[in-house]
Amino acid sequence: MVSTAWLAAKLGHPGLRVIDASWYLPGSGRDPAAEYAAGHIPGAVFFDVDASSDARSPLPHMLPAAAEFADRMAALGLNDTDQLVVYDGSGVNLSAPRVWWTMRTFGHDQVAVLDGGMGMWRRERRSLEEGGITLPAGHFTARLDSSAVRDLAAVRANIRTQAEQLVDVRSRQRFAGIEPEPRPGLRSGHVPGSINLPFTELVHPDGSMLPLGELRQRLAGSGIDFARPVIATCGSGTSACALTLGLHRLGHTQTAVYDGAWAEWGGRADTPVDSQPISQR
């Protein structure tokens, strides 16, 4: 992660690219593209999460093929040698970590998340830019690291083997099955045997991520064993990456994301679903 002060000092440096990766849950009433046009960090390009996903999949924003992702990033003006800084406007690291994880999963490791995101940038009254940004086409290479991704079959098998810890970062109400899902047609509850740690609990009220000691305590307090691998999951594979980012900062690299997430699991009739009252957490 990088601070707003660090980024403000580096803006305009050759090889540094800033990415606005804002995306919001269905029904939020927010339009990330319109918000970007109204004001973004100077020089930032807009990463459309949905348009940068697999258009052939019926599930929301699944990873695209490597060649398709490379083409889209090159069209944005990104290059293999660029140092990338990603932010969003959620105030809770909702979607920026997804783009951070996606870049790393396709082999681009020079990427960081802006701590505090657009909310902190605005509160500090730092400069903004209106409109859009068009950069010359870049050269971007993408190679999928399949070890960073889990599919439906892997999560099914893990219920039996418990080889990996499945950590669900949706709200406690959604995890317990007492709050409806924001996407229609999905059952309520969670994958049997999974742990719940809402991604909103990984940040301070100002949107900055918890310091490492406090972050470690929060994760351990939720039941996560740092000696074992973790599969992160959520509603659609987006906010799960906030947990992956937190674990990475703590040096825990045995992590993967269930890309189909609850949009896939909760939308099927042949997957087991569990629930439990909040009072039992």
Is 215:242 a contact under the CB 8 Å cutoff? no
Which DSSP string corresponds to 196-224?
A: E--GGGGB-TTSPBPPHHHHHHHHHHTT-
Cβ neighbour number for residue 222 with a 10 Å cutoff = 16
Is 220:203 a contact under the CB 8 Å cutoff? no
Is 186:267 a contact under the CB 8 Å cutoff? yes
Closest to 232 (Cα-Cα) out of 155, 174, 136: 155
Q: For residue 234, indicate whether it is catalytic.
A: yes
Among 148, 186, 209, 234, the active-site one is: 234
Strand order of the β-sheet with 16-20 is 45-46, 16-20, 83-87, 111-113
Is 122:96 a contact under the CB 8 Å cutoff? no
Q: Which residues are catalytically annotated?
A: 234
